[in-house]
Amino acid sequence: MTKTMIKGVLKTWKEDRGFGFISPDDGGKDVFIHISALKGTSRRPVTGDVIYYQIARDNRGKFKAVDAYIDGVEILEDKASGFFNTKTGVMLLALALAVIVAVVVFVAS
């Protein structure tokens, strides 16, 4: 089951602090958003951007935007899911380590 994305407009953004507030399209209180909610976006947000997000509560019980993206802005590949998280990458890494160990054992003997 997927969560419903909420649409809003970035009302304010403090670039130097990495956060701002979204004005939800359906009305209601502005929602806090931190830059960490926009993982993988190809650019930083600017005031006026249309943001799609989900809602969560922070550790003080206040609402915040999570799993957000900027409408029309490319999402870059997650660096954690790069080459070495593929089967080929893992196999090549294992092979390289085996070769290194073999060389070390050969040189040490």
Q: Give the DSSP letter string of 19-58.
A: EEEEEETT-SS-EEEEGGGGTTBSS---TT-EEEEEEEE-
pLDDT tens-digit map of 23-58 = 999 999 999 999 999 988 889 999 999 999 999 998
Q: Taking 60 as the threshold, does the pLDDT of residue 9 lie above it?
A: yes
Q: For residue 61, give both structure tokens.
A: 């019980």
The model's pTM is: 0.67
pLDDT tens-digit map of 46-97 = 999 999 999 999 899 999 999 999 999 988 865 555 555 667 777 888 888 8
